[in-house]
């Protein structure tokens, strides 16, 4: 039986094509941008998909009043670019994306903090590594000038542009995975209280924080030769930029310390026999349980939550938080996450944790 | 532009001429493996060193495994020559007419042959060599090595793929015109925002 012919849709208007491209570029949205050129893109005249359909409204959701949108629209409306885009939309085969627009998309993605999108755009343009190095170089220069906030931003962008070439099945941008890194950081139960991450001498603690928060030992190594004061100022700013809701965590942390105090000083496992504290705590505080310490730290209760569940969620909500906690066995069946810090640590005090 | 360097040359790994005999290959392999094992025992093993040593061991195992077998050696040399030739042909065609159908056809052929070459000779056969009795004997390669090497080898293969990719004609995007002075300005402006 002969296949029924599809009704021909009217050609997609040029202003719609421009608007869709400008929207993706202005928002640094690499996924939408690539989608517009796929074989089933609604911008293609030979596709049965209609760009005017409600389901594609998201392709034009950028705020048209911004300078970013105006710049992107101007770039997309250049005669040469329009011609190239149309040629690719009419082409029977994979499209070749216009580099000009992609470059602007990458820059906008950096501006908006969408570093993985920027990494993909720069990778396609084969400039990712050089851009990454340029961010590092300028961040180091900012640090030399004692412009800490700018230096931290540079390091965050540069590390955000990293690529994982061992990702399966294809290389992909490296994504922040603090929830996994936190478990690696606390993988071994500290044999003595001094082995706790949070109780290291300040300089060691700062270096651990640097590697963990930058997600890159190589990036952290670039700061090896900096003085303790510079390092401290850098990490303090890094904590704030990594976790804009740090002050909320500080409140939870202090509350957790309060709960811990109320439950008594005897949570020092070196002075207790395994299995006895839970009973003792239950006797002394009929209505309170050691788990409340972890709950206060996280700001919510996880039903039948294990220590590692609290740790993962804590790292997900407030990445730097796991640098100021430790695992604590309460009995042979119960381990919790508790706040820990050195009272002589300058940076811990400056972070408002005590 | 060096096309040779990115397509692993197992003859170079063992420092052997193309017409080397199996006996020569095994002597070179055993000597190099012995030196490597001594080196591993001599230094403190960090994560980075572990990856480097695993990769070096896998390369030596694969070189010996491939070169000692006449058929496998010939197949490897032919595949290597083919992938290098296809790259050259593609470059030449793109220089004449980048939009031609021939250029597109060559790109597809090259990409498929390249992926096959990299996955076969820089991953699969490297792992297979690690299960070979003689290689196991010389390198003490075991299941734990294989488990760790899987990621290292995938990383190595993708690194090589990227190295090769960077010298190829642009096909996913149009060739960008990058002005690095202007890029430096952009980076400076991006750093100022929000700081």
pLDDT tens, A39-61? Answer: 999 999 999 999 999 999 999 88
Per-residue pLDDT of A6-30, as tens digits, reads 667 889 999 999 999 999 999 999 9
What is the domain range of residue B171?
A: 4-194
pTM, two decimals, is 0.86
B106-149 residue pLDDT tens: 999 999 999 899 889 988 898 899 899 988 888 888 888 888 88
> CA of A328, closest CA in chain B: separation in Å?
28
pLDDT digits over B59-88, tens only? 999 999 999 888 999 999 999 999 999 999
Q: Do A138 and B184 touch (CB under 8 A)?
A: yes
Q: How confident is the model at residue A315 (pLDDT cuts 50, 70, 90)?
A: very high
How many CB pairs (< 8 A) connect A and B? 82
pLDDT at A332 over 60: yes
**What string of H, E and C letters represents the secondary structure of chain A?**
CCCCCCCCCCCCCHHHHHHHHHHHHHCCCHHHHHHCCCCCCCCCCCCCCCCCCHHHHHHHCCCCCCHHHHHHHHHHCCHHHHHHHHHHHHCCCCCCECHHHHHHHHHHHHHCCCHHHHHHHHHHHCCHHHHHHHHHHHHHHHHHCCCHHHHHHHHHHHHHCCEECCCCCCCEECCCCHHHHHHHHCCCCCCCHHHCHHHCCHHHHHHHHHHHHHCCHHHHHCCCCCCHHHHHHHHHHHHHHHCCCHHHHHHHHHHHHHHHHHHCHHHCHHHCCCCCHHHHHHHHCCCCCCHHHHHHHHCCCCCCCCHHHHHHHHHHHCHHHHHHEEEEECCCCCEEEEECCCCCCHHHHHCCCC
Kindly tell me if the per-residue pLDDT of A1 is higher than 60: no
A205-224 pLDDT, tens digit each: 999 999 999 999 899 999 99
**Interchain contact A202–B (C-beta under 8 A):** no
Is residue A160 less than 8 Å (CB to CB) from chain B? no
Q: Which residues of A touch B174 (CB under 8 A)?
A: 84, 96-100
Cβ <8 Å between A142 and B186? no
CB contact, 8 Å: A102 with chain B? yes
Measured between CB atoms, which of B178, B186, B191 is closest to A154? B191
Q: Which residues of A touch B190 (CB under 8 A)?
A: 107, 110-111, 135, 157
Q: What is the number of domains present in chain B?
A: 1
pLDDT exceeds cutoff 60 at A286: no
Chain B: closest CA distance from residue A252 (Å): 27
pLDDT of residue A269: 47
A154 chain-B contacts, CB cut-off 8 A: 191
- Is B178 close to A100, i.e. CB distance below 8 A? no
Chain A positions in Cβ-Cβ contact with residue B175 (cut-off 8 Å): 99
């Amino acid at each position: 039986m002969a296949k029924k012919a599809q009704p021909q849709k009217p050609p997609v208007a040029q202003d719609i094509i421009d608007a869709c491209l400008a929207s993706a570029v202005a928002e640094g949205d690499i996924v939408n941008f690539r989608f517009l050129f796929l074989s089933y893109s609604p911008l293609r005249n030979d596709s049965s998909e209609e760009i005017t359909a409600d389901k594609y409204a998201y392709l034009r959701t950028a705020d048209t009043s911004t300078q970013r949108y105006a710049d992107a629209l101007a770039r997309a409306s250049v005669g040469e670019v329009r011609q190239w885009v149309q040629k690719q939309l009419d082409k029977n085969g994979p499209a070749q994306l216009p580099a000009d627009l992609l470059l602007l998309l990458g820059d906008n993605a950096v501006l908006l903090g969408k570093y993985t999108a920027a990494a993909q755009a720069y990778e396609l343009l084969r400039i990712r590594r050089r851009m990454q190095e340029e961010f590092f170089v300028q961040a180091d220069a900012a640090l030399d000038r004692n412009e800490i906030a700018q230096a931290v931003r540079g390091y965050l962008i540069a590390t955000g542009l990293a690529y994982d070439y061992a990702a399966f099945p294809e290389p992909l941008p490296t994504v922040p995975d603090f929830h996994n890194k936190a478990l690696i950081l606390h993988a071994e139960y500290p044999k003595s209280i001094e082995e706790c991450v949070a109780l290291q001498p300040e300089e060691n603690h700062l270096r651990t924080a640097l590697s963990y928060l930058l997600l890159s030992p190589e990036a952290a190594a670039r700061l090896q030769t900096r003085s303790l004061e510079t390092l401290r100022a850098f990490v303090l700013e890094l904590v704030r930029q990594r976790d804009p809701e740090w002050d909320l965590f500080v409140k939870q942390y202090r509350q957790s310390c309060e709960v811990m105090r109320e439950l008594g000083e005897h949570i020092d496992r070196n002075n207790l026999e395994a299995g006895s504290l839970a009973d003792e705590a239950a006797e002394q505080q009929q209505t309170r349980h050691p788990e409340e310490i972890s709950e206060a730290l996280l700001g919510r209760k996880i039903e039948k939550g294990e220590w590692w569940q609290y740790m993962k969620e804590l790292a997900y909500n407030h990445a730097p938080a796991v640098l100021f906690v430790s695992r604590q066995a309460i009995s042979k069946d119960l381990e919790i996450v508790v706040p820990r810090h050195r009272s002589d640590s300058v940076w811990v005090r400056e972070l408002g944790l005590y | 532009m060096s096309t040779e360097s990115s397509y692993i040359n197992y003859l170079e790994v063992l420092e052997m001429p193309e017409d080397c005999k199996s006996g020569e290959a095994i002597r070179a392999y055993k000597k190099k493996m012995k030196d490597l094992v001594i080196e591993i025992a001599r230094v403190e093993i960090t994560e980075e060193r572990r990856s480097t040593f695993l990769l070096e061991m896998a390369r030596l195992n694969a070189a010996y495994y491939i070169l000692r077998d006449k058929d496998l050696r010939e197949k490897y040399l032919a595949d290597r020559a083919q992938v290098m030739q296809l790259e050259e042909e593609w470059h030449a065609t793109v220089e004449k007419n980048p939009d031609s159908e021939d250029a597109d056809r060559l790109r597809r052929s090259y990409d498929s042959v390249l992926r096959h070459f990299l996955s076969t000779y820089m991953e699969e056969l490297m792992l297979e060599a690690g299960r070979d009795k003689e290689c196991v004997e010389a390198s003490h390669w075991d299941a734990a090595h294989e488990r760790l090497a899987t990621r290292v080898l995938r990383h190595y293969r993708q690194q090589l793929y990227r190295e090769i990719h960077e010298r190829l004609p642009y096909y996913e995007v149009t060739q960008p015109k990058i002005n690095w002075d202007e890029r430096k300005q952009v980076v400076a402006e991006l750093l100022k925002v929000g700081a």
